[in-house]
């Protein structure tokens, strides 16, 4: 059975249009990207990981260690997805024609030079190079590479993630893959703060008063802000390490776990911009904002 990581993306996009201002403009683009991704996955399904040894999982998590499950990426699959999504991008915005062409050439070179399987870092370094060489802007690069790599991870790890016992996990990083979170939600049933790994999709409950990045528990140094009219999205920050993440209020969504937070994240990138302007960096390392936008041009 093929796992489509974001099967109901259309409904979620519609919901997000109602919830957040400024999203509509990006919608055609996001929609095309997801439909292209799903098409690719259906044509080229990836085999899911074998179940993990339950006892070993329990022992590792109880020791406070993430399982650090990081599959090697199939180079042709991630490059295939990248090319497919960038072609779809071109259809929504013909101005991107040159960008798409340069990106395609760079992708072909990458594919020819690299072995059949690569580590996640190598793929992300490719992303960094494209930004450095001005092929892609920071926000576009983060968007493309994060949805592709997370689609790969989710297909591969979803069966494991779904049965993983995260109730014994108290860490700030993902118990399954070790990645740092960028967003989460207040669970609709009880308001508990729950992170969702942007990469593999694992969810785990985390302390309400603790920074997931530096472990700071001083109430006065932890806080959050929201934007009037868009209270569903909160930006949590820590003044100790100066980092932030976003939390969506699931009590307002009343969806019982089926929400696609990845799309809520895309719909609220203006919140990332506000956080950056306040001097906070994304603790996840996912930079969603272009440097030129952070500098307040009215200064
Ligand atoms: Zn993860
Ligand atoms: Zn901190």
Q: What is the mean pLDDT of the chain?
A: 92
What's the gap in Å between 229 CA and the centre of ligand 1? 31
pLDDT of residue 281: 97
| Percent of the chain topping pLDDT 70 | 98
- DSSP code at position 166: G
pLDDT over 50 (residue 293): yes
Distance 288 CA to ligand 1 centre (A): 19
| pLDDT over 70 at 298, yes or no | no
CA distance 151 to 3: 9
Best-predicted range by mean pLDDT (8-12, 164-168, 169-173, 259-263): 169-173
| Element housing 17 (H / E) | helix 9-19
pLDDT confidence bin for 51, thresholds 50/70/90: confident
Ligand number nearest to the C-alpha of 157: 1
Question: What is the pLDDT, as a whole number, of residue 202?
Answer: 95
What local confidence, expressed as pLDDT, does residue 89 receive?
84
Q: Is the pLDDT of residue 174 over 90?
A: yes
Write out pLDDT tens, residues 229-242: 999 999 999 999 99
User: What percent of the chain clears pLDDT 90, i.e. is strictly above it?
Assistant: 78
Query: How many angstroms separate the alpha carbon of residue 115 from the centre of ligand 2?
Result: 38
Domains of the chain, each with CATH number or no CATH: 9-291 (3.90.1670.10)
Average of per-residue pLDDT across 66-90: 93
pLDDT at 299: 45
Q: Which ligand sits closest to the CA of 154?
A: 1
What average pLDDT does this structure show over 246-268? 88
Q: Which of 39-43, 46-50, 158-162 has the highest mean pLDDT?
A: 39-43
- Comparing 8-17, 135-144, 288-297, the range with the smallest average pLDDT is 288-297
Rounded CA gap, 64 and 103, in Å?
A: 41
pLDDT of amino acid 141 = 95
If you measure from the C-alpha of residue 196 to the centroid of ligand 1, how many angstroms do you get, rounded to a whole number? 8
- As a whole number of angstroms, the distance between CA 294 and CA 255 comes to 34
Q: What contacts 109, CB < 8 A, 6 or more positions away?
A: none
What's the whole-number mean pLDDT along residues 37-55?
89
Tokens of residue 265, six digits: 């994240």
Token couple for 32: 């095309």
Sign of CA dihedral 182, 254, 34, 276: negative
Say whether 233 sits in a helix, a strand or coil.
Answer: strand
Phi, then psi, of 128 in degrees rounded to 5: -60, -40
Strands (E), the chain: 73-74, 117-118, 183-186, 193-196, 203-205, 222-226, 233-238, 243-249, 281-282
pLDDT confidence tier of residue 62, bands split at 50, 70 and 90: very high
* CB contact at 8 A, 195 and 84: no
170 Cα to the center of ligand 1, angstroms: 14
CB 266 within 8 A of CB 31: no
pLDDT of residue 94: 80
pLDDT at 259 over 90: no
Using alpha carbons, select from 237, 229, 173 the residue that is nearest to residue 206: 173
Buried b (16+ CB within 10 A) or exposed e, 199-235: bbbbbbbbeeebbbbeebeeeeebeeebbeebebbbb
pLDDT at residue 245 in the model: 98
Distance 245 CA to ligand 2 centre (A): 10
Ligand 1 centroid to Cα of residue 221, in Å, is 27
- Ligand 1 geometric centre to CA of 56 (Å): 18
pLDDT at 256: 67
């Amino acid at each position: 059975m093929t796992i489509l990581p974001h099967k109901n993306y259309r409904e979620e996009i519609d919901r997000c249009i109602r919830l957040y201002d400024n999203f509509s403009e990006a919608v055609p683009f996001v929609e095309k990207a997801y439909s292209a991704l799903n098409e690719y996955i259906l044509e080229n399904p990836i085999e899911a990981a074998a179940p993990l040894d339950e006892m070993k999982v329990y022992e590792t998590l109880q020791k406070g260690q993430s399982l650090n499950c990081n599959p090697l990426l199939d180079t042709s699959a991630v490059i295939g997805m990248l090319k497919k999504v960038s072609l779809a991008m071109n259809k929504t915005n013909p101005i991107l024609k040159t960008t798409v062409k340069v990106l395609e050439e760079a992708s072909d070179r990458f594919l020819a030079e690299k072995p059949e399987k690569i580590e996640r870092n190598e793929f992300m370094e490719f992303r960094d190079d494209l930004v450095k060489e001005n092929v892609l802007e920071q926000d576009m690069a983060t968007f493309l590479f994060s949805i592709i790599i997370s689609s790969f991870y989710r297909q591969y790890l979803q069966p494991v993630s779904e049965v993983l016992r995260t109730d014994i996990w108290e860490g700030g990083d993902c118990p399954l893959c070790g990645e740092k979170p960028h967003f989460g939600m207040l669970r609709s049933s009880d308001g508990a703060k729950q992170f969702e790994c942007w990469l593999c999709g694992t969810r785990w409950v985390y302390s309400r008063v603790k920074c997931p990045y530096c472990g700071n528990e001083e109430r006065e140094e932890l806080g959050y802000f929201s934007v009037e009219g868009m209270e569903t999205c909160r930006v949590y920050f820590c003044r100790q390490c100066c980092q932030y993440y976003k939390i969506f209020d699931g009590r307002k969504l009343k969806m019982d776990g089926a929400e696609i937070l990845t799309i809520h994240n895309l719909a609220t990138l203006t919140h990332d911009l506000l956080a950056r302007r306040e001097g906070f960096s994304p603790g996840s390392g996912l930079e969603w904002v272009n440097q030129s936008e952070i500098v307040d041009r009215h200064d």
